[in-house]
């Protein structure tokens, strides 16, 4: 039998099936295309493929009139082949039928389908192909075996290895990961002359190897992003942070002719980069991966001419000669006429010393797409009651045998969006434990057990991983005293986003009173540039008047 990944389509309508079969032939070089009328037969085939551990890339199914409806087949695919992309096929205008609309919304809400697809109407039907191609792109990026631009070989429990993989994933760099004792890992290490290495090794596209590299080495050689300023000339505006707010400010600043520098200490995309699917960002009706959105924004800013400096922290800021001097880790100082603070927030810690010991070795703050796969078949815990914790639980449930969501409060509904509460309720392998806290962790070199406390006392539970998403604190501690902050450390601004230091603006999550959403951060990032223009014009006019 062919080893090619499968594209499967099911529709009992003979005419539609013929058109779907004909359209899907476009993919037959790289995929095994199978189309048929029976949902039961499709299910049997998918069960057999699961037994053989065969790759299934895309499944499309029409609702139909059979005992096993299309949407039910797709919900089974979700269990059998969790990585497969799934869409419900509907005829043109099918969305107007209330029952079909309900089937689509329910299946999407509980994660049983990724989207719906209109059955092809003409030949070629590029609208149909757009969805299939997007599905294949996403599937291949996340799952496909084979050659990748960059390969990481490390112990799966190595915190350094985790840090490097996380950095690559969040910067949208396609990479493969092999454990150092796997056949592939051993082969890669031997080819690059690093046999028996007990530290992480990163193999670059040209075959050279970085041994136990620093994040800066990965940024410079792996992502080919700038970590040093060639000419630290003056900039019109320096943006601190490349989350959604900073990226939007960069796009608008550069597109409007300002010389802009963005300094980012970790990875492009900020918190949004760790979100596996942002479903409420305008224009992405089936959601968009946070890293994907961030990469698009980064490229947009880069094309307009923004200079980016990665793996560097802004550490200080002082007014000088009517402008500002921005200090950057590594000893660089840059002059800027205006500064936009977009540092966002960082995850609050639980403050349990045993958990700090296991960070990267089973304990993770936030959740990145790169870790979930490692926990296939495992028992994982997520702490937190807000949307980010809910999203992490749902994402992890695709891989883990069971996910336990630990919530300090008495209900989820108080702190989480209803669509996520529903999705969690629809996942059989997610358990929610309210009024429960983590109080200790145990293990030998990696997390193995958690001690949990609820009203009935302490219990010790086996745990392969713990993801902590319990809210956040502003990353504004390094700012000079002239910049006012509220009692919780968030930067206060006027309605024009200007802080108490003229020419310094604050946007996004770091700003006191901000909404803490991708769209609002992006909105503030675009609006603030207009304020920066006003400020620059007013200071230029003032200096022109000085004799
Ligand atoms: C897991 C998760 C899921 C989410 N899902 C959604 C969702 O579905 N929909 C939604 O609307 N919102 C979602 N959010 C919230 C959303 O991601 C944030 O509101 C948004 O990212 C805020 O953007 P920002 O640019 O203000 O800050 P951030 O995204 O926090 O970015 C700030 C950036 O600044 C950098 N930085 C900080 N200090 C410095 C410094 N001194 N020097 C240089 N760089 C610095 C950081 O490294 C970071 O990259 C989610 C958040 C998380 C964590």
169 lines ligand 1 (CB under 6 A): no
264 lines ligand 1 (CB under 6 A): yes
Reference 56, options 32, 38, 40, 76; nearest CA is 32
475 lines ligand 1 (CB under 6 A): yes
* Percentage with pLDDT > 90 across the chain: 66
pLDDT at 135 over 60: yes
Q: What is the pLDDT of residue 366?
A: 75
Residue 509 to residue 426: CA distance in whole angstroms: 31
Compute, in angstroms, the gap from residue 268 CA to the centroid of ligand 1.
10
Compute, in angstroms, the gap from residue 275 CA to the centroid of ligand 1.
10
384 lines ligand 1 (CB under 6 A): no
244 lines ligand 1 (CB under 6 A): yes
Mutate to test the pocket of ligand 1, among 226, 271, 283, 489 (most ligand atoms within 8 A of CB): 271
348 lines ligand 1 (CB under 6 A): no
pLDDT in tens, 500-547: 999 999 999 999 999 888 999 999 999 999 999 999 999 876 665 655
Q: What is the pLDDT of residue 227?
A: 83
pLDDT at 426 over 80: yes
pLDDT in tens, 275-307: 878 888 999 998 898 889 999 999 999 999 999
pLDDT at 59 over 90: yes
Residue 191 to residue 194: CA distance in whole angstroms: 8
Q: What is the pLDDT of residue 547?
A: 52
pLDDT in tens, 140-155: 887 756 667 789 999 9
Top-confidence range, 203-217, 220-234, 247-261, 387-401: 247-261
Reported as a pLDDT band with limits 50, 70 and 90, residue 370 is: low
Compute, in angstroms, the gap from residue 509 CA to the centroid of ligand 1.
7
Q: What is the pLDDT of residue 133?
A: 97
pTM of the model: 0.86
Mutate to test the pocket of ligand 1, among 339, 344, 419 (most ligand atoms within 8 A of CB): 344
Q: What is the pLDDT of residue 544?
A: 59
Angle between helices 418-425 and 387-397 (to 10 degrees): 30
Q: What is the pLDDT of residue 265?
A: 94
Q: What is the pLDDT of residue 20?
A: 98
Q: What is the pLDDT of residue 506?
A: 98
Q: What is the pLDDT of residue 145?
A: 60
Compute, in angstroms, the gap from residue 291 CA to the centroid of ligand 1.
11
CB atoms within 10 A of CB 3: 7
Least confident span in 231-235, 277-281, 317-321: 231-235
Buried b (16+ CB within 10 A) or exposed e, 144-178: beeebebbbbbbbbbbebbbbbbbbbbbbbebbbb
263 lines ligand 1 (CB under 6 A): yes
What integer is the mean pLDDT of 94-110?
88
CB 360 within 8 A of CB 162: yes
Reported as a pLDDT band with limits 50, 70 and 90, residue 48 is: very high
pLDDT at 250 over 60: yes
Q: What is the pLDDT of residue 146?
A: 60
CB atoms within 10 A of CB 403: 27
Residue 84 to residue 76: CA distance in whole angstroms: 11
Reference 325, options 459, 77, 503; nearest CA is 503
Reference 400, options 432, 427, 364; nearest CA is 427
**Residue of the nearest CA to atom 48 in ligand 1?**
270
Q: What is the pLDDT of residue 360?
A: 79
Q: What is the pLDDT of residue 2?
A: 67
**Residue of the nearest CA to atom 39 in ligand 1?**
343
Residue 367 to residue 364: CA distance in whole angstroms: 7
Reported as a pLDDT band with limits 50, 70 and 90, residue 393 is: very high
């Amino acid at each position: 039998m062919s080893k090619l990944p499968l594209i499967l389509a099911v529709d009992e309508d003979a005419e539609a099936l013929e058109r779907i079969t004909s359209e899907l032939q476009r993919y037959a070089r790289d995929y095994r295309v199978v189309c048929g009328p029976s949902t039961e037969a499709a299910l049997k085939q998918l069960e057999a493929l699961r037994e053989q551990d065969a790759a299934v890339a895309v499944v499309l199914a029409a609702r139909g009139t059979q005992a096993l409806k299309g949407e039910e087949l797709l919900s089974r695919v979700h269990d059998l082949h969790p990585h497969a992309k799934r869409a419900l096929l509907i005829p043109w205008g099918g969305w107007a039928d209330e029952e079909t609309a309900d089937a689509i919304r329910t299946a999407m809400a509980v994660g049983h389908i990724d989207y719906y697809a209109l059955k092809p109407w003409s030949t070629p039907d590029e609208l149909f192909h757009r969805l299939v191609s997007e599905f294949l792109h996403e599937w291949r990026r996340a799952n496909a075996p084979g050659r990748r631009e960059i390969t990481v070989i490390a112990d799966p429990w190595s915190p350094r290895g985790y840090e490097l993989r996380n950095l690559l994933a969040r910067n949208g760099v396609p990479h493969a990961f092999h454990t150092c004792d796997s056949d592939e890992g051993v082969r890669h290490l031997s080819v690059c002359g690093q046999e028996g290495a007990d530290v992480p090794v990163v193999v670059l596209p040209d075959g050279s190897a970085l041994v136990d590299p620093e994040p800066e080495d990965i940024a410079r050689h792996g992502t080919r992003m700038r970590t040093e300023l060639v000419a630290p000339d003056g900039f019109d505006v320096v943006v601190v942070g490349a989350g959604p707010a900073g990226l939007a400010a960069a796009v608008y600043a550069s597109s409007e002719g300002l010389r802009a520098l963005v300094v980012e200490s970790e990875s492009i995309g900020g918190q949004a980069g760790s979100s596996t699917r942002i479903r409420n960002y305008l224009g992405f009706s089936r959601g968009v991966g946070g890293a994907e959105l961030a990469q698009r924004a980064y490229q947009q800013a880069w094309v307009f001419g923004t200079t980016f400096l990665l793996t560097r922290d802004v550490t200080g800021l002082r007014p000088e000669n009517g402008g500002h001097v921005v200090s950057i880790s590594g000893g660089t100082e840059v002059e800027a006429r205006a500064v936009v603070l977009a540092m966002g927030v960082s995850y609050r810690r639980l403050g349990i010393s045993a958990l700090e010991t296991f960070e990267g070795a089973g304990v993770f703050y936030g959740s990145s797409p790169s870790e979930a796969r490692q926990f296939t078949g495992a028992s994982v815990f997520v702490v937190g009651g807000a949307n980010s914790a809910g999203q992490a639980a749902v994402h992890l449930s695709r891989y883990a045998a069971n996910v336990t969501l630990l919530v300090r409060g008495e209900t989820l509904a108080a702190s989480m969006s209803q669509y996520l509460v529903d999705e969690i309720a629809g996942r059989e392998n997610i358990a929610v434990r309210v009024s429960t806290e983590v109080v200790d962790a145990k293990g030998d070199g990696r997390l193995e057990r958690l001690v949990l406390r609820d009203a009935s006392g302490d219990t010790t539970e086996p745990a392969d991983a713990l993801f902590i998403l319990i809210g956040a604190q502003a990353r504004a501690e390094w700012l000079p005293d002239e910049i006012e902050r509220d009692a919780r450390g968030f930067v206060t601004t006027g309605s024009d986003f200007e802080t108490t230091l003229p020419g310094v603006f604050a946007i996004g999550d770091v700003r006191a009173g901000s909404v803490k959403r991708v769209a609002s951060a992006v909105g503030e990032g675009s609006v603030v540039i207009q304020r920066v223009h006003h400020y620059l014009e007013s200071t230029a006019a003032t200096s022109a008047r000085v004799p």
